Structure 1
Amino acid sequence: MTERDINRVIEMAWEDRTPFDAIFFQFGLTEKEVIQLMRTELKLNSWKRWRKRVQGRNTKHVAKRDFLVGRHKCSRQRSISQNKVT
């Protein structure tokens, strides 16, 4: 994996609403592999903080979610098309 890919996986792993399934779909890493990557790439205290945050969080697992759509969109948010705000 490139450094850019590793940074993106770390970013996705920190996001509360991004499930491990999305990381697997995009990068081919299982939950265990993401945990191992986080352990090797983060400082010890950061890893412990992330691990504590992720454990028991239903939004990180698609099967445990109590909602169908994983993305929130504010009613006042404008749509984006072709990289231009419309």
Structure 2
Amino acid sequence: MKWQVQEAKARFSEFLDATLKKGPQIVTRRGVETAVLVPIEEWKRVQSGAPTTLKDWLLAPKPPFEVEVPERGKSRRRPTVEFE
């Protein structure tokens, strides 16, 4: 969600609650995105040196989430077509 700076200042408690419940909140000034308020856990994760490139992320010792890969089904071959 985006908040104008005046609105964020006037309703800071609500702004903070939205960050904690819904994640990062963007602050705009004169229609231009200028800042983001993020939950402290996310800030610490970013500051701790979490992988920043796709390569680092893929090679990290523990992925941030589990990906379930469905089992492959039995594939059928296409019928052979004879040409004259």
TM-score with structure 1 length normalisation? 0.22
Whose helix proportion is higher, 1 or 2?
1
Larger radius of gyration: 2
**Structure with larger RCO (C-alpha < 8 A, sep 6+):** 1
Q: TM-score, normalised by structure 2?
A: 0.22
